[in-house]
């Protein structure tokens, strides 16, 4: 595995891969890798000749007062995990390398960025889309793997790639969970054991909602208020939002249909956690 930090080095390796007609799988991450990331990396490795993983805690996607400076890191462990999976190129740029000049350009994906998570974090998705656009340009044509865990992010990136004609196929991968349902997240590291236990309320309420939908309840307002009740009963969790939307347009819906998505954000201790489900599938 090649461990590199310069954009110019990525170009050199990519040119070589392309000359050999290799297909390329890209997995952008912020590091502190867990089984969710690993599932993306494994899929990329299975489906492509060469796998590139990036680790970059992107300052653009954090607002003032968020956890940029305390975001968990364990680079040695991450490097070992990538090596064990058979990653070919691990790109770990510094902020100076990615943003050597003050960045004047940003990517906006109208309508998809300002709702749900974007209503709570107004600058977040523009930061995400801008860094992902940079990575897509640095790597060039490839298959790029993103988790459904960050459902709205996946819609933003898929739409950006389509609208701006990136030669990148954006592929969504299922959410990996712990056995009690909690979605894996680097931010779970912030939880005390008590908070970790309490955090299961998020996936539990998504699962109960899914069972109710599957039993025939299709009113979004009824399902929403059931989730609010369940979340409110857990005193260690503070619900930020629960939204029920059409899965790709992210438009709010009144009646739950097959393409629906239920999204939740909640604060548990220091961690702000997000999760989502298609209620006709439930959490798996
Ligand atoms: P992050 O390091 O949090 O930016 O995540 C990097 C990628 O891993 C994103 O595409 C995430 O959606 C994905 N990811 C994070 N957690 C999970 C999970 N539990 N299951 C599947 N993918 C995930």
Q: What is the pLDDT of residues 77-134, one digit of tens each?
A: 999 999 999 999 999 999 999 999 999 999 999 999 999 999 999 999 999 999 999 9
Ligand 1 atom at minimum distance from 31 CA: 2
Task: Compute the distance between CA of residue 158 and CA of residue 171 in angstroms, rounded to an integer.
Answer: 8
The residue whose CA is least distant from atom 5 of ligand 1 is 29
Could you read off the pLDDT of 19-61 as tens digits, one per residue? Answer: 999 999 999 999 999 999 999 999 999 999 999 999 999 999 9
Q: Give the CA distances from residue 145 to residues 25, 130, 221, 266, in Å, rounded to whole numbers and listed in that order.
A: 7, 17, 33, 25
The whole-number pLDDT of residue 194 equals 98
Asked if the structure places residue 283 within a domain, the reply is no
Domain count across the chain: 2
* 168-173/271-277 β-pairing: unpaired
Residue 37 is a catalytic residue: yes
Whichever domain contains 57, its CATH number is 3.40.50.620
Q: Give the CA distances from residue 91 to residues 51, 88, 143, 248, in Å, rounded to whole numbers and listed in that order.
A: 11, 10, 16, 30
Contact 273, 205 (CB under 8 A): no
Range of the domain at 54: 2-173
Asked if the structure places residue 181 within a domain, the reply is no
Per-residue pLDDT at 259 exceeds 80: yes
* 271-277/24-29 β-pairing: unpaired
Asked if the structure places residue 131 within a domain, the reply is yes
Average pLDDT score, the chain: 98
Question: Between vectors from CA 156 to CA 210 and to CA 263, what angle results, nearest 5°?
Answer: 20
Q: E strand or H helix at 42, and its extent?
A: helix 35-47
The residues lining ligand 1, judged by C-beta closer than 6 Å to any ligand atom, are: 29-30, 36-37, 39-40, 146-147, 149-150, 173, 175-176, 183-186
Could you read off the pLDDT of 42-51 as tens digits, one per residue? Answer: 999 999 999 9
């Amino acid at each position: 595995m090649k461990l590199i930090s310069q954009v110019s080095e990525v170009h050199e390796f990519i040119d070589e891969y392309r000359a050999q007609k290799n297909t390329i799988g890209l997995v952008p991450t912020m590091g502190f890798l867990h089984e969710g990331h690993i599932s993306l990396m494994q899929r990329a490795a299975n489906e492509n000749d060469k796998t590139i993983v990036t680790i970059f805690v992107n300052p653009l996607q954090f607002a003032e007062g968020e956890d940029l400076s305390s975001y968990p890191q364990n680079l040695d462990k991450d490097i070992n995990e990538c090596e064990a999976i058979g990653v070919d190129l691990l790109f770990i740029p510094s902020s100076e390398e990615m943003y050597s000049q003050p960045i004047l350009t940003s990517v906006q994906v109208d309508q998809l960025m300002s709702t749900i998570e974007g209503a709570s974090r107004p600058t977040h998705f523009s930061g995400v889309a801008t860094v992902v656009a940079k990575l897509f340009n640095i790597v060039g044509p490839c298959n790029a793997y993103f988790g459904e865990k960050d459902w709205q992010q996946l819609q933003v990136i898929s739409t950006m790639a389509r609208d701006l004609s990136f030669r990148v196929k954006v592929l969504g991968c299922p959410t990996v969970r712990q056995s009690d349902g909690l979605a894996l997240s680097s931010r779970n590291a912030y939880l005390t054991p008590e908070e970790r236990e309490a955090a299961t309320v998020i996936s539990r309420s998504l699962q109960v909602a899914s069972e109710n939908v599957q039993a025939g309840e299709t009113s979004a307002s009824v399902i929403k208020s059931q989730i609010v009740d369940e979340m409110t009963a857990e005193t260690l969790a503070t619900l930020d939002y629960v939204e029920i939307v059409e899965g790709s347009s992210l438009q709010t819906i009144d009646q739950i249909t097959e393409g629906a998505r239920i999204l939740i954000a909640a604060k548990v201790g220091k961690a702000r956690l997000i999760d989502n489900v298609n209620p006709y599938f439930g959490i798996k």
